[in-house]
Amino acid sequence: MKSMRKKIKLPWSVALTVIVKLLLTANLLSAQTPIEPVIAGDFADPSIIRANNQYYAVGTSSEWAPHFPVYTSTNLLNWKQSGYVFDKAPAWTSGSFWAPEYDYHDKTYFIYYTARKKKDNLSCIGVATSKYPDRGFVDQGIIIDYGKEAIDAFVYLDGNQRYITFKAYGLDKRPIEILAYRLSKNGLKVEGKPFSLLKDDERIGLEGQSFLKKDGYYYLFYSAGNCCGAQCDYNVRVARSKSFAGPYEKYEKNPLLMENEYWKCSGHGTFVKATDGEYHYLYHAYNKKTNVFSGRQGMLAQLSWSGKDGWPVLKEQSGPCVNQDLKLLFTQPKADKRWQWDFRNSSPKISQNHGLLHLSGSINKNNLTGIALTIRPVSGVFEASTTVANTNKALKGLVYYGDAGAAVGVGVSGDEVVFWKVENKIKTVLSKSKIQAKGPVELKMKVADDLSLLVFFKQGNHEWKNVPIQEKISVNFLPQWDRSPRVGLHFNGSINQNADFSSFSVKYY
């Protein structure tokens, strides 16, 4: 049977107009589709490795413990936290746990990492080993102690020789540069003298390097600019050389990754060869909307060699758009792996039983805030809630924590709900509200788009009550230079007191 549809002939100019509109609509829709992170929340300086068709990523933890969170994935897009490199800080360290880097040989996994030394607070590079990529790491001590700052290790295998490269700073009057040592066969010592690969002659910053070799060229990928904070201008660049030792020629079309509509300050990544043979680059960037309040998040780009004269190209990829809301009920004997705390200022004790999380511990004498048991937020606009199940004079509740000297929270102490903040190392009680002395108390804090904070409480079947304040409270003082503030549970009391919580949830907007 013949079709009864009638062909419609459009004038050439009208057809062209329709095609142009369709293309513009398609481009507009594409432009309006945001690029999603693959590891949401603060996960800076990521390193990635593939083992038995499973991917593992480890990132900076800075001043949060446990140290160096580890994530796993089967497809590079969906990731789940599996643990940490260190439950306790190695004895020689004082803080600044940055830029961990994977390596594998001789049936051993190595993580080369940056930390500050206790004896002089200078940054240097240590190494830890394990038979597994995501657990069981044992610290092997310092491997590079050089200049005023030795950070951002990367190991490269050239033939049968491994080299460890790093950023060196504070070398007399020389600029920042990328240096390299030969690495011993067991991976635990450096050999000979360091040699220079690339110098920061432009004085714009130089760090976060990684290497690939293709068609006789060594490609040195690196980050330039200011890495951290609201005024960052980080970007990813590349240089190449016929010799690993250089000299390296910088790409005239740098940078490869830079600010776009949704993200800024892209940088510090490493490559992995996927199961399909393609190379992918895991790096970090700030979301332009939530910026330092969600931190440097884990991003993914695919590598191709379609640039001019065979130079590389990095194309940003989007992770899945998933609901990141969190609700924790404390029914298991072990605490959730996502909890972290400021190890410099408190030593929390955490246990779970009978549906309650028990939080207590010791607090350093100069710590005005107390213990903050926190999670990595994926947005700066959220609603957090908890239920305090016990009654005592200790302050127990919710906290939004930047540092021991920059925090704000709402808690229960005896028969009062207390709204408080610590700013510039000064503690202020913003408001108090009377409650019934017995029975669970539900608490809630809400952060809006304008960074204003409201807190609420209720008991039993009563309605939520707003904790009254005289003036608008902003949380813009919370972010620290290299890390985002975090929301979580709070305890401030004596060593023989504790806080009991029956739930914790975060809803993002």
Does residue 18 register a pLDDT over 70? Answer: no
> Residue 236's beta-bridge partner residues?
223, 257
Is residue 181 within 8 A of residue 164, CB to CB? The reply is: yes
**Per-residue model confidence as pLDDT tens digits over 184-207:** 999 999 999 999 999 998 889 999
Kindly state whether residue 134 falls inside one of the protein's structural domains: yes
Q: Tell me the C-alpha distance between 57 and 68, whole Å.
A: 10
- Which residues are paired to 219 by β-bridges? 212, 240
Q: Which of 399, 367, 396, 368 is nearest to 384 (CA)?
A: 399
State the average pLDDT over residues 80-101: 98
DSSP state of 405: T
Give the pLDDT confidence score for residue 1 in this predicted structure: 41
Burial class (CB in 10 A: 0-12, 13-18, 19+), 468: exposed
The residues that bridge with 299 in the sheet, in sequence order, are: 283
pLDDT tens track for 348-407:
999 999 999 999 999 999 999 999 999 999 999 999 999 999 999 999 999 999 999 999
Domain termination site, one of 269, 296, 317: 317
- Residue range 144-151: average pLDDT? 93
As a whole number of angstroms, the distance between CA 11 and CA 245 comes to 63
Which pLDDT belongs to residue 32? 59
Domain total of the chain: 2
pLDDT of residue 148: 87
Contact call for residues 376 and 338 (beta carbons, < 8 A): yes
* pLDDT tens digits for range 105-134: 999 999 999 999 999 999 999 999 999 999
Look at residue 487 and tell me whether its pLDDT is greater than 70.
Answer: yes
**pLDDT tens digit sequence for 166-177:** 999 866 677 899
**Could you tell me the pLDDT band of residue 307, with boundaries at 50, 70 and 90?**
confident
CB–CB of 110/104 below 8 Å? Answer: yes
Q: Based on the domain organization, do 474 and 498 belong to the same domain? A: yes
Tell me whether strands 356-363 and 371-375 are parallel, antiparallel or unpaired.
Answer: unpaired
Give the other-Cβ count within 10 Å of 396's Cβ. Answer: 31
In a domain, 42, yes or no: no
Compute the average pLDDT of residues 432-458: 95
pLDDT surpasses 70 at 2 = no
**Domain CATH for 257:** 2.115.10.20
> How high does pLDDT run on average in the chain?
93
State the catalytic residues.
45, 207
CATH number at residue 491: 2.60.120.200
Domain membership of residue 1 (yes or no) is no
Q: How many CB atoms are located within 10 Å of the residue 386 CB?
A: 27
Query: Are 313 and 349 in a shared domain?
Result: no
Report how far residue 62's alpha carbon sits from residue 16's, in angstroms, rounded to the nearest whole number: 56
pLDDT for position 23: 44
Do residues 404 and 311 share a domain? no
User: Are the C-beta atoms of residues 66 and 86 closer than 8 Å to each other?
Assistant: yes
Residue range 282-311: mean pLDDT, rounded: 96
Are residues 219 and 145 part of one domain?
yes
The DSSP letter of residue 414 is T
Domain that holds residue 339: 326-508
pTM: 0.92
Whole-angstrom CA distances from 334 to 32, 85, 352 are: 42, 18, 6
